[in-house]
Amino acid sequence: MRHFLDVDDLAAPELVEVLDRADRQDHGLPLHGKGVALLFAKPSLRTRHSCEMGVIQLGGHPVSVRPDEIGVNDRETPADIARVLAGYHALLGARVFAHADLVGMAEPAAVPVINLLSDDAHPCQALTDLLTMRQVFGELQGRTVAWIGDHNNVARSLALGASLSGMALRFGCPEGYGPSPTDIDQFLALGALDVTVVHRPEEAAKGADAVHTDVWTSMGFEAEADDRDRAFEGFMVDDAVMAGAHDGAVFMHCLPAHRGEEVSATVIDGPASVVIQQAHNRLHAFRALAWWLAEENHR
Ligand code: CP
Ligand code: NVA
């Protein structure tokens, strides 16, 4: 059974295939008469709406629930929940705190499990980010992507996808908040052109084709917010940071954003920002992924 717990569950040609399908309208109704269960343990705007509408466009019926309604890890185990839901649904999607919950669901599930964000990874966002950069640049291979701020779930999945796409990676993170040596080895093994870690945002953005950032404190890490505010001081993506990027470089953010913290209003609301295109691409990327998974698991 093929699952999608992180981007490297796809081989490089499969990733290209999914991104190609995002631009296609000939998907038909592969989920006709089928259900898709979507569990959300954390808040969501983009993911819930893009998944529900993507399922509907494929002819299926989405059923969204909060894990407290069904008692994940309390009333019953992720494994039992997945085994039961697989009898009603063609796909299971889940947004969780612990990535291990997704692994626990995927292991016994007779249908694909899709990670809708965990503390460790946000692969549906990465598909969107790659799709958006491809729409802007044409070809990803050889382009440089800069990540400024926290090497969080969004950063990790983006780095995996960018590596599989043959891009160069630049990280501008405070000490202690960047990728580990193991992460860097993984990016290089997957095909990253080059991986650079620096501790100044201007240095990371210099010459980059796309400058990405995200909140300093992700959902579930609120107890660390004060420490993080101190650690990330000086890491805002502002006009000075963007000025050093490549001509025509874009600014990207998965949203929700905090203007005046990780990004200035002049940048996120300025001409280089593609954040709304990125958000809209969540629908096209998810529909393509669900279409591909539905087909792949029925070969
Ligand atoms: N980018 C993203 O995943 O947004 P939501 O948290 O609103 O789903
Ligand atoms: N890193 C953020 C992404 C939200 C879409 C979080 O996990 O809260």
Residue 206, domain member (yes or no): yes
- Cβ of 258 less than 6 Å from ligand 2: no
Two tokens, residue 137 = 């640049």
| 27 and 131 assigned to the same domain | no
Tell me if residue 290 falls in helix, strand or coil.
Answer: helix
Euclidean distance between CA atoms 177 and 151, whole angstroms? 6
Q: Would the CB of 198 count as within 6 Å of ligand 1?
A: no
The neighbour count for residue 108, using CB atoms within 10 Å, is 15
Q: What are the tens digits of pLDDT across the range 183-207?
A: 999 999 999 999 999 999 999 999 9
Name residue, tokens 């991986």: 195
My answer on whether 109 and 246 are in the same domain is no
Indicate if 140 and 241 belong to the same structural domain. Answer: yes
pLDDT value of position 107? 97
Do 128 and 242 reside in the same domain of the chain?
A: yes
**Do 134 and 271 lie in a common domain?**
yes
* Strand pairing category for 144-148 and 113-115: unpaired
Going by the DSSP 8-state scheme, the letter that residue 272 receives in this structure is T
In eight-state DSSP terms, residue 11 is -
Total structural domains within the chain: 2
Same domain, 144 and 248: yes
Dist. CA 258–CA 255, nearest whole Å: 9
Q: Is pTM beyond 0.85 here? A: yes
Task: Pick from 40, 42, 45 the residue to mutate for probing ligand 1's pocket: most ligand atoms within 8 Å of its CB.
Answer: 45
What gap in Å lies between CA 137 and CA 247, rounded to an integer? 12
Query: What CATH number does the domain containing 16 carry?
Result: 3.40.50.1370
Kindly indicate the confidence band of residue 214, based on its pLDDT and cuts at 50, 70 and 90.
very high
* Same domain for 250 and 170: yes
Tell me whether residue 2 is in a domain: no
pLDDT above 70 (res 76): yes
Distance CA 267, CA 275 (A): 11
Average pLDDT over residues 77-90: 97
pLDDT digits (tens, 9 = 90+) for 126-181: 999 999 999 999 999 999 999 999 999 999 999 999 999 999 999 999 999 999 99
The string of pLDDT tens digits covering residues 248-264 is 999 999 999 999 999 99
Residue 145 lies in a domain: yes
Does residue 1 lie within any of the structural domains?
Answer: no
Residues 270 and 292 reside in one and the same domain: no
- Verify whether ligand 2 is closer than 6 Å to residue 275 (CB atom): no
pLDDT in tens, 221-242: 999 999 999 999 999 999 999 9
Same domain, 274 and 158: yes
Q: Which domain holds residue 190?
A: 123-279
147 part of a folded domain: yes
78: pLDDT strictly greater than 70: yes
Burial readout 170-180 (b: 16 or more C-beta within 10 A, e: otherwise): bbbbbeebbbe
Both 34 and 86 in one domain: the answer is yes
Return the pLDDT at 151.
98
Query: What DSSP state is assigned to residue 273?
Result: B
In short, whether 52's Cβ falls inside 6 Å of ligand 2 is no
Task: Kindly report the average pLDDT of the chain as a whole number.
Answer: 97
Pocket test for ligand 2, best of 46, 47, 215 (most atoms within 8 A of CB): 215
| Tokens found for residue 112 | 């694909």
Identity (one letter) of the amino acid at 52?
E
Claim to verify: residue 259 and residue 288 sit in the same structural domain: no
